[in-house]
């Protein structure tokens, strides 16, 4: 029997455009789940980046 192989996570760098888009969503108070689907990043990754940038994220802050 073959072992199930795990899908490897590939890290993507944050570009200036990605950061700009995150700030726009922050001002618009877009829900984190929607941002995650649009940017193809996890909600945790978005929250961590927002925390590092010092901006709030999500519709309920």
Closest-CA residue to 33 (of 10, 11, 52, 59): 59
Whole-number Å distance between alpha carbons of 16 and 4: 37
> Has residue 4 got a pLDDT over 80?
no
Q: What are the DSSP calls for 2-50, one per residue? A: PPPPPPPPPP-PPPHHHHHHHHHHHHHT--HHHHHHHHT--HHHHHHHH
The string of pLDDT tens digits covering residues 36-47 is: 999 999 999 999
> Has residue 2 got a pLDDT over 80?
no
19 or 5, greater pLDDT: 19
């Amino acid at each position: 029997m073959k072992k199930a192989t795990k899908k490897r996570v590939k890290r993507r760098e944050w570009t200036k455009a990605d950061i700009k888009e995150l700030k726009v969503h922050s001002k618009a108070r877009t829900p984190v789940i929607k941002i995650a689907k649009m940017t193809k990043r996890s909600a945790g990754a978005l929250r961590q980046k927002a925390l590092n940038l010092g901006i709030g994220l999500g519709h309920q802050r």
